[in-house]
């Protein structure tokens, strides 16, 4: 049993990417993990998402035999939640993409700035 299933899923994706694996299986599948996977697909870190027998199968994106996801840092955790407003997200410079939980679902930092959304910063991916 895992207390923070979303963090566990994101770390599994990062570890698989760093190990050069093409696929990741997430169990148990829930709405939060599925929406985070869709946000990662929108950002280009995930190639395909499939559901089978209560599991979520995720295919990672590779370019020139190298993974698109080079690293991931969990920002919020169950004991310490970090929130940012839209203008604070827009000020973040660099190649990193933030995954943010907003009132309209889990989105990337690019989409959050575009739609003027703030929320809980889940992870930073580069």
pLDDT tens by residue, 61-105: 999 999 999 999 999 999 999 999 999 999 998 899 999 999 999
Query: Any residues with CB less than 8 A from the CB of 111 and at least 6 apart, and which?
Result: 42, 117
- Between 11-15, 25-29, 93-97, the lowest mean confidence (pLDDT) is in 25-29
pLDDT, mean of residues 23-49: 94
pLDDT score recorded for residue 32: 93
Domain residue spans in the chain?
Answer: 5-125
Minimal CA–CA distance to 61: which of 92, 98, 24, 97?
A: 24
Separation CA 101–CA 99 (nearest Å): 7
- Overall CATH class of domain 5-125: alpha beta
Helix (H, G, I), strand (E, B) or coil at 40: helix
């Amino acid at each position: 049993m895992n207390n923070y299933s979303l963090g566990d899923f994101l770390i599994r994706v990062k570890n698989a990417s760093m190990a050069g694996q093409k696929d990741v299986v997430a169990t148990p599948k829930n709405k939060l993990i599925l929406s985070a996977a869709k946000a990662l697909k929108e950002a280009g870190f995930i190639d395909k998402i499939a559901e089978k027998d209560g599991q979520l199968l995720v295919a990672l994106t590779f370019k020139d035999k190298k993974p698109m996801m080079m690293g991931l840092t969990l920002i919020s955790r169950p004991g310490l939640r970090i929130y940012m407003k839209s203008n604070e997200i827009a000020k973040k410079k660099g190649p990193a993409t933030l995954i943010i939980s907003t009132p309209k679902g889990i989105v990337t930092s690019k989409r959050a700035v575009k739609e003027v959304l703030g929320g809980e910063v889940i992870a930073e991916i580069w």
